[in-house]
Structures are given as structure tokens and as C-alpha cells.
Amino acid sequence: MARTDNNPVLKVENVRKSFGDKEILKGLSLSVKKGEVKVIIGPSGGGKSTLLQCINFLVVPDEGEVWLEGRKINYAKKRELYAYRQQVGMIFQDFNLFDHLTALENVQIGLVRVKKMDKVSAHERAAAELRRVGLAEHAGHYPAQLSGGQKQRVSIARALAMDPKVMLLDEPTSALDPELIGEVHAVIKDLVANGMTMLMATHQIGFASVLADEIIFMEDGCIVEQGPPTQILLNAQCTRTKEFCAKITHLSADS
Amino acid sequence: MEELVYIQHEVLPSLFQGLWISVLLIIPSASLGLVIGILMGAARVFAGRPVMMAANIYVALFRGIPLVVQLFIWYFGLPYFGIYFSPFLASVVAFSLCSGAYHSEYIRGALLSIKKGQMLAAEALGFGRLEMLRSIVLPQALRRALPGCGNELIYLIKYSSLAYMVTCIELTGKGKILASHSFKYTEIFLIVGAFYLVLVSLAGLLLRHMENRLSLPGFEFHRT
């Protein structure tokens, strides 16, 4: 047992990606163990989103390998890719709910269409996930009728319904106004308390420092520094990390 | 008086026969045209390069050549290669392919209007491309394409009148025959026109009804 616990759930090795002649990811490696929460911080344009999207091959990396529970993912095989993606929950900055479906249907559709679950069980499961994120009474509402925070919670429920082994969160609260951030943070905290494995990009430094087992500072497609929150936020080795953390902490203190 | 009797006993029964043929032309052409349009529209947005090119060429041809010429090719041209279409079949083929080319343009536009993020989200959930197209992209795109596709249906109702050029005697054909027998061009073509107007109005009502039924929050058709 101890051996499996030490093995990472998700391992990323030497991922490179260029768009045109601009190199976005310059050979990044990282790994996340079961129940661990790693938070990626760093300036916009530093490659955080691209990294997360490379991990489930929404952006196909030019080079590099991704391993889930010790198995290397062969993304060229469609079946294997689709099966892998079901096990990796993805939360996007701008929610990306399906506009023509109600909150409940948004959660349900992956179960029915991808997992081929029967409609009754899928409906029950979807309703349970919506309750979990506190949106039971909004089940029948369409995305156009929900607030940003509610949309993001639906999208979290949608990801959870698939029973992911790890979740990738790409700035889950960046598109929300300050009053709505709290409700989404509460849901994420709850997930962490329940042992969800997570890799999250965010600018919410205070939130990150409470949750994270490790903070990764990323800039220009490279990991500059990584370590426990106290080390990165208070005692960073690299001056650039210090600068960034000082600025971002100052900003979040203001708001 | 004599005229009314003639119209009641000769013209109307004959025109109703023609109307029936027109309806029989329009219904399969409209359905096939829509199916072709969806396939071609999707191919032009999502398919790999060779299929996309083929679909583009299809649209360029069938939108670029006058419909009468297309009809003539199907009916008078193909026998040269040993392929014989009945006037009715030639008409349905020509109308469906032409209508499909126009539909594909409306559908292409609608597909392009679907936000990329939703497709990323579907892929992230493990959707395959076809499944994503079927359950996420098309239901939204078709809602957005409906006003345009409805317009195409209304065109189709009217260009179905070209079928008589290849001796498929539908409403306009019947009118033409009656008129050249009786020389009552004005009366007969006014009635023919009224028939088309009724067909188009019915189609308009049907489309409006569909728009209302398919309307969802976020997909309303705003009428001013």
C-alpha cells in the first residue's frame, strides 16, 4: 500500500509546446500524488493554461509524456485518450457550460453520452453532484439564467460526476467578480477536504496558501521555483518569485 | 358566370392536382436538402482537409450553376451516360442538392458561432468528435441556423415551380397548360400565385412555431 501512495497519480515529464516560433512550454516536469494539491502561480502568458491543457491533450504537446497512475498515455490512440480524459476533471476559467442544456443536463450529459450510464442513474448522480455544490434548486436553470459563481459550481459538479482521479483547475475564479469568488472557493475547499487530487492555476494567493501542499511558480514556460507555501510566499530563493509573490500578496490584501 | 363555372370545374381541380405534386416535390427535397446541408456544413467546419475541400467544391458548384441548368443536366444530360431519371426524381435530386448547398452555408455560419470553449469542455469530459458534434454542437448550431434554413425552405417552395421545365407537371406546370388552352392567363396565374402564397404562409407559420418550441434561455429569437 505504501508503495502506491508514494507513486504519483499524475506525472508530467519534459512537456514542450511551441506556437509558431514562440516556445510556450520549455520542457516542464511535475507530479502530483494522491490527495495532494499543487497550485501553479505565475504571470499571465507564462504558460499555465497551456500546461494544464497539454496535460489532458486539449493542446497536443510537441514533446513530453503524461502518466496517469503509472500508465503512460498514448494520446494518438483515440480510445485511450477519451478513456484517460474521463479520469481527469477539467475546470476552465470561463466555465464552458453547454448553453443549450440545463444545469442538471450539463452534469448528466457526460454520464449518458460518454460513460453510457442509463438515464435514471445518470439523473440521480447528476442531482447528487448538484446538491454537493449547493445548486439543487437551480437544476432546471439554463446557463443564461445562472450567475458566474453558479456556472462555475455547475462545471465543478459536471467534472465530479465523472469520478475523476485528478482535477485540473485553470484559474477557476478569475472570471468572477469578487463577491462570487467565495462560493466557488468554498466548493473547492470542500473537495480538498474530501481528498481530491488537484493541480490548480490561480492568482488567488491567499486561497492557494491555505490549500496547497506545494506551490509552483512558473514563468516563461519554465518552473522557476517550487515548494511548500510558506517557503515560496515568505522565503523564496529566487528574486523573481519574491517579486511576483510580493506584488500579488499586496494586491489581494487590497481587495 | 360561365367563367366561374370553368374555373370551379376545370381550373381548380387541375390546380389542386398540381399543388399535390408540388407538395410531394417540396417535402422530400426540403428534408434531404437539410440533411445534406448539415453534413456538408459540418464537413466544411470540422472535417479533415480532403473532405472539407470536397464539400467546398460541392457548394461552389451547386450554388454557382443556375438551378434550371442543373435540372436540365439531371434530366436531359444524364441519359447521355445511360442514366435515366423520371422528371419527378430529377427534380427532387436537383432541388435537394441545390437546397443542401445553401443550407450548408447557414449551418456553417451557425457552427462557427458556437464558442470554442464548449468543445474543449466536451473533449475534456471524454467526448469523441462525432458524439460531441451530435450532442453539444449541432443542437446549438441548428437553433442558430433555423431562421436562415427557414428562409431556404421558403425559397425551395418557390423554385419547385421550375420542375415543369423538365416536364414534371406540378402547380405551375398545370397553370401553364390550363392558361394556354383557355388564354385566361391573368386569372389562372393569379390563382397559382395565391396557392404559392398560401404554401409559403403555412411554412412561415410552421417555422415560427418551431422557433418558439426550440427557443431556450440564451437562444431566444428576439423579434422587434
User: pLDDT by residue for chain A (255 residues), tens digit each?
Assistant: 344 457 899 999 999 999 999 999 999 999 999 999 999 999 988 899 999 999 999 999 999 999 999 999 999 999 999 999 999 999 999 999 999 999 999 999 999 999 999 999 999 999 999 999 999 999 999 999 999 999 999 999 999 999 999 999 999 999 998 889 999 999 999 999 999 999 999 988 889 888 999 999 999 999 999 999 988 888 888 888 888 888 877 776 654
**Cα–Cα distance measured from residue B95 to residue B28, given in angstroms and rounded to the nearest whole number:** 9
Which residue type sits at B105? E
Which residue type sits at B13? P
Is the residue at B72 inside a domain?
Answer: yes
Chain B: closest CA distance from residue A13 (Å): 20
Is the residue at B115 inside a domain?
Answer: yes
- Cβ pairs A/B, distance under 8 A: 79
For chain A, say whether B48 makes contact (Cβ under 8 Å): no
Chain B residues with CB under 8 Å of A89 CB are: 124
Residue range B139-183, pLDDT digits in tens: 999 999 999 999 999 999 999 999 999 999 999 999 999 999 999
Chain A: closest CA distance from residue B136 (Å): 7
Is the residue at B92 inside a domain?
Answer: yes
For chain A, say whether B194 makes contact (Cβ under 8 Å): no
Residue ranges making up the domain that contains B125: 2-214
**A213 φ/ψ angles, rounded to the nearest 5 degrees:** -80, -30
CATH number of the domain residue B81 falls in? 1.10.3720.10
Is the residue at B158 inside a domain?
Answer: yes
Chain A: closest CA distance from residue B89 (Å): 38
**If you ran DSSP here, which 8-state letter would residue A161 be given?**
H
Chain B residues with CB under 8 Å of A90 CB are: 120-121, 124
Chain A residues with CB under 8 Å of B136 CB are: 98, 109
**If you ran DSSP here, which 8-state letter would residue A224 be given?**
E
- Domain A2-23+36-98+166-254 in CATH 3.40.50.300? The answer is yes
- Contacting A residues, span 96-115, partner chain B, CB-CB under 8 Å: 96-100, 109-110, 113-114
Is the residue at B222 inside a domain?
Answer: no
Is the residue at B123 inside a domain?
Answer: yes
Residue range A93-112, pLDDT digits in tens: 999 999 999 999 999 999 99
Across the beta sheet with A8-19, the strand order is A22-33, A8-19, A63-68, A71-72
For chain A, say whether B213 makes contact (Cβ under 8 Å): no
Domain ranges of chain A: 2-23+36-98+166-254
Number of domains in chain B: 1
Nearest to A113 among B120, B135, B140 (CB): B135
**If you ran DSSP here, which 8-state letter would residue A46 be given?**
S
- With CA atoms as reference, the chain B residue closest to A91 would be B121
Is the residue at B16 inside a domain?
Answer: yes
Is the residue at B224 inside a domain?
Answer: no
What's the ipTM?
0.91
Query: CB distance A162–B143 less than 8 Å?
Result: no
